[in-house]
Structure formats: structure tokens, C-alpha cells
A and B are shown apart, each in its own frame.
Chain A
Amino acid sequence: MAGGISLAARLLAVLLILVVSVFMLAPLAVVIVSSFSASEFLIFPPRGWSLRWYAEILASRAYLDAAWFSLQLAVVVTILALAIGTPAAIAITRHAVPGAEIISGLFLSPLVIPTILLGTGLLMMFSRYAGGSSFWALVAGHVIVTLPYVVRTVAAVLARADRAAEEAARVMGAPWWRRYWHVVLPQARPGIAAGAFFAFNVSFDEAVIALFLRTPGVETLPLLIYSKLEFSPDPSVAAAATLMILLTIVLMVALDRSVGLDRVAA
């Protein structure tokens, strides 16, 4: 009898996995398939196949400029988020900071506070005191929304690491910089790698803050795609989106090789 129930449960599990797979992957799949369309319009499934839309975007000033802007933005944001978030995570996990809970809550709060509120506030602040939006306005906004990822991943890794090693270094008189460079940072490395992955990805994909701070010359790749979607998208949008998905896959594989996706997800 137990075998019968187990079979029913197994079938249900398989059914669930099928439904969720279609639900989660269909939106990505139709974008990828559409990008190989030969036709002028976005029809699914495409009537014919070609790589013309890839040729088109790789020759398009608008796409290349936006991609270059997004890449610079994501790199600067990742470096700053690591530089600010890693020490904060070390302090939260390794030092008996008074009010540690409140501080760590403060660092994680941009994850749940409506991004639209931050976008509104940044637009008000930069137009009032800095003469309008700029690359650095967007950097500021993105550092805030990526910090929680860095703090979280680094703190999670440090919480599991052996504290005795740092204590030993301290007792044996290692200067502070050697203690950090030889003990704490190597221990935190998997968390830093995962944090860098999230920070880069989130910044490269982010559209809400970017929409608020958009001015001529401050246009990211997701923004360019968004504005094309508002009017009549042609398959070039699908080609650009497919390349972005490909970049995400490459980064995920790299993260899996270096740290292990399983550890990051759970």
C-alpha cells in the first residue's frame, strides 16, 4: 500500500515540476526563439529564421552605447558594493556591535523598501542639489539596492567560518592588515564571489531606479528595452534580451564552478 501512495506522490511531484518548468521558462524561451526571427515583426512562432537581428543590434549605436553604459555601471557598482558591504558584514558577524540587529536590518532594508520610493527620492535629491541625474546618480542608487546581497552572502559565509583562526592571528600579534588579508578575507571569499555575482547581475538588469533617473546620456540596456516595449517592439529587442540572458547564464556557471550554486541558493 505504501508503494501505491508513493507512486501517486511521485506522479504529483513530476506533474508539479512540469507545470513549474513551463511557467518559469516559457517567458525566457519565447524571447530566445523570437530573436532568431527572419520577419520584420515580432510574431510567435517566427515564420522564418535568421540572425539578422543580431547583426542589427551589433551595428546599432543605440544598443552598443546602452550596453557599454550598463557594463561600466555594473562594474563600478559591484566594486563599490563589495568595498562597502564586505567590511560591514565582517563587523556584523565578528564584532559584538551594540545594536547589531538594527544595523544589519538597516543594511538589508533596501531589499524590501519599495524601490519606487528610492527612485522618487533620488530623482528629487539629484535634481535639487546636483543639477540633475548622471552616471554617478545611478551608481548611488544601484549601490544601495545591491548592498544587501553583498552583506547577506558575506555574512552567511563568515558565520559558518572558524573564528579561532582570526583569534589566533590576533593573539600571535599579527598587525590588523595581515589579520584581514591572510585570515578574514580568504575565509569570506566564497561570500564575496557570490556577492559580486548578485551585485553585477542586479545592477546590469535593474530598470526601476534607472527609469526615474533617465536623462539623455543616462540610458541603460534594460531601459532601452523597456522603452521599445512601450511602443512596438521588433525582434531586435529579443536579440538584445537573449544576449543578456546568455550573460546571466555564463555568470551563473562561473559562480557554480567557483562557489557552488546550491550553497548560494539555500
Chain B
Amino acid sequence: MKREAFLLLMPGVVVLGFVFALPVAQVLLLAFDEGPGQIGAANFSKLFVDSYYPLVAERTIRLASLITLVTALLGVPLAYVMYRAQGWIRSALIVLIVLPLMTSVVIRTFGWLVILGRGGLLARTLDMFGLAPRNFSLMHTETGIVLALAQVLLPFMTLTVLAAMSRIERNLEEAARTMGAGIFATLWHVVLPLARPGIVSGSLLVFALAVSSFVTPMLVGGVRLPVLAGAVYQQMTSTLDWPFAAAQATLLLALALLVILPYARLARARGG
């Protein structure tokens, strides 16, 4: 029995060890590499030589926080509507969330480039209502990055919260309603508190994904608005300072772990 489980797990553990743990360990080791035989934090102190990297890190965290907020404001009510919907409406809503999720991030970002650019769909629409000049553009702006990445990450928030809501006892809501609470009071006092672990999990997940996102900020923000992941890529492919890239990637991992660890604890508490 034990041997059977061992054999079943073996291929996965070997593959994860060689092509996941080993490369990640290599990055972490290189981050502390100061040349032949020297170990230290020199690569990290390079991050603080001037204000460039602190600003990049600050922007990355600010954007990720805003994106988390936007996805929560849209995703939590949406999850509730999905939870209550039935029949074709429910199916349509699932497609609405899963189809974009299953479309390449590159393609979705491409769509946002067409929408956000000068003379794009957004500029034309705002112009039609006299809200903004025709040459209005959200390309190379933080607002543009937030909009595009919120669309990319909304499914993760919605599906996580929906999963949490599906575990709520329907009776509790019924009880509140029968005892005279209005729908909004019921939502506020019954549904929202019960869905809180799901909302927290969804927020942690979205923050972790946003903080390490790369394709969307690179294409929408461009070189003028670098984020941490983009800086790592530049160091790896253009500047070729690999130890410095490793230090930045390590910093990014540390940032992500700050939210991944509580996320994992929550997931375990739910038994999922």
C-alpha cells in the first residue's frame, strides 16, 4: 500500500524536483553570489543605490493593490449573482468568466491595446459623450495597466469567491429573509461575513498574480512604467546581469510569499 503510493507519486516528485525546485534554488543561490566563492547580499544592496528600483517596487505594489480592490468590487457581487442564478443565465455567466480566462493573456492585452490607445474604442466612446478629447489615451498609464490586469485577473477572484459561497448553507439566508431582513441587509449581515474567507483567499491570490504579472504591464505600460517582473526580464535578456536579475526575482518571490503563505493556510483550513 505504502509502496504503491510511493510509486504513484514518484514521477511527479522527480519532475518537480528537477525542473521546478532546482531552477528556483539556482536563482536563489545566484542572488547571494558575489563572485567566485563569495557569498553576500551585494546584489541586493545594488537595488538601493538610487531611487529607481525602490520606485519600481512601489509601483508594482501600488498597482497590485488597486487591481485587487477593483477585482474584489466587481468579483464579489458577480460571484453572488452567479451563485443565485439558474439555468441558462448561470451557464452564460460561467462562459463569460471562463472564456476570457482560457484566452491567452497576450491576446487579451492586445484587445486592451486596441481599446486604450489613441483614437481607440475608449477614446471614441468618451469623445461621443464629450467627456474627453479624441486624442485621449490610457496607454502608458497606470490606469490602463489596472484596467487591463483587472480584466485578466477578475476570473480568479470570482471563481474563488463563488466556491466559498457555494458552501454557505442556503437556510441561513432563508432564515434572515423570513425574519424580515431585506435582501441588502441579508447580503451585508449574512452572506458577506460567511463568504469572507473566500474573499480573503481571492484577494491574496489576485495580489500574488498581479505582483508577478509581466505580459500586460510590459505591453500596456511599456518601458516608461516598469514593474518588478519586467525589470527581471530586462536584466536577464538585455543587461545580462544574471546575479542582479536573480536578486530582483528573489525580492519578487519574497513579496509574493507574503500573500501566498496566508493563502495556503486558508486553503488548508477549508480542506481544499
Chain A residues within CB distance 8 Å of chain B:
2, 5-6, 9, 13, 16-17, 19-21, 23-31, 34, 42-44, 83-85, 87-88, 90-92, 94-97, 101, 103, 105-107, 109-110, 112-118, 120-125, 140-141, 143-144, 147, 151, 176, 201, 204-208, 211-212, 222, 225-226, 229-230, 233, 237-238, 241, 244-245, 248-249, 251-252, 261-262, 264-266
Contact = CB atoms under 8 A, between A and B. Distances in A.
Q: From A2, A21, A114, A241, name the one whose CB has the most chain B CB atoms within 10 angstroms.
A: A114
A120 B95 contact: no
Interface residues of B, number: 86
B41 to A, nearest CB: 18
A63 B93 CA distance: 33
A261 B27 CA distance: 38
B118 to A, nearest CB: 11
Interface stretch (B9-17, B127-135, B188-196): B9-17
A92 B184 CA distance: 42
B110 A91 contact: no
Interface string B101-118: 011111111111111000
13 contacts: A9-B184, A20-B74, A88-B11, A90-B8, A95-B1, A97-B5, A107-B16, A116-B212, A144-B20, A205-B106, A241-B104, A244-B104, A266-B163
Contacts of A124: 23, 26-27, 30, 242, 246
B12 A44 contact: no
A116 B20 contact: no
Contacts, number: 257
B174 to A, nearest CB: 14
B100 A24 contact: yes
A54 B115 CA distance: 22
B111 A143 contact: no
Contact of A266 (B102, B151, B162, B256): B162
Contacts of A106: 13, 16
Nearest to A16: B77
A245 B106 CA distance: 11
A113 B253 contact: yes
A177 to B, nearest CB: 12
Nearest to A104: B268
B181 to A, nearest CB: 10
